[in-house]
Amino acid sequence: MRAICTAIDAGTCDAEIVAVISDRKKAAALEFAEGRGIPTRVVSLRKGDDRDLWNESLASEVATFAPDLIVLAGFMRVLGPPVLERFPGRIINVHPALLPSFPGHSGPQDALDAGVRITGCTVHVVDSGVDTGPIIAQVAVPVLADDTADTLHARIQVQEHRLLPSVIHQIAIGAIELDPLRVNAPMGDATRSLIAPDV
């Protein structure tokens, strides 16, 4: 979120953050947003809570701000039909791997375990799967011989912080159009753009 705000401040991301919503009360993004005067909300999901009700509450909270685009950044929950059906094709996520390889929460470690020499990050449209939605853009990051999951993830995050604001800007100016009818299309058929490796 800091990277998005920095790009907005620099005039390289033509967007406005209308709200920051988290499922965790202590998320650092909430304090940062409040410091910038951005409205914040928390929609908590505790162990044993009804996920459908949580998704409905989240969808209602998001809808109060009437966003054109919903950006998941560090949001580690799989969204359900109440959210996805209310905002079809308008939710994007950034993931620390070159999808469709290494979906899920441990992309950098999975890349190391697989022995690949190149990984990276992906911005994709969110669908009902785990990191399975149409790919919008990707950046390659080399895997170094002495990498750990932490060092690799740190270098991937540098690229995520460049890629995500850039994609948001391209969507805002109409250079990338998100088609809600293609949200469930196979990833290979739905790639919108590929940003070249920055190594």
Which positions are catalytic? 95
CB 197 within 8 A of CB 140: yes
Place of tokens 């750990």: 148
> Which residues, in sequence order, are CB contacts of 37 under 8 Å at separation 6+?
none
Residues with Cβ < 8 Å from 168, sequence gap 6 or more? 4, 7, 13, 15, 69, 71, 92
Tokens representing 162 are: 């460049």
Q: Which among 43, 12, 129 is positioned nearest to 80, based on CA atoms? A: 129
Whether omega for the bond prior to residue 100 falls within 30 degrees of 0, making it cis, is yes
176 in Cβ contact with 193 (< 8 Å) = yes
Q: In whole angstroms, give the CA distance from residue 35 to residue 195.
A: 32
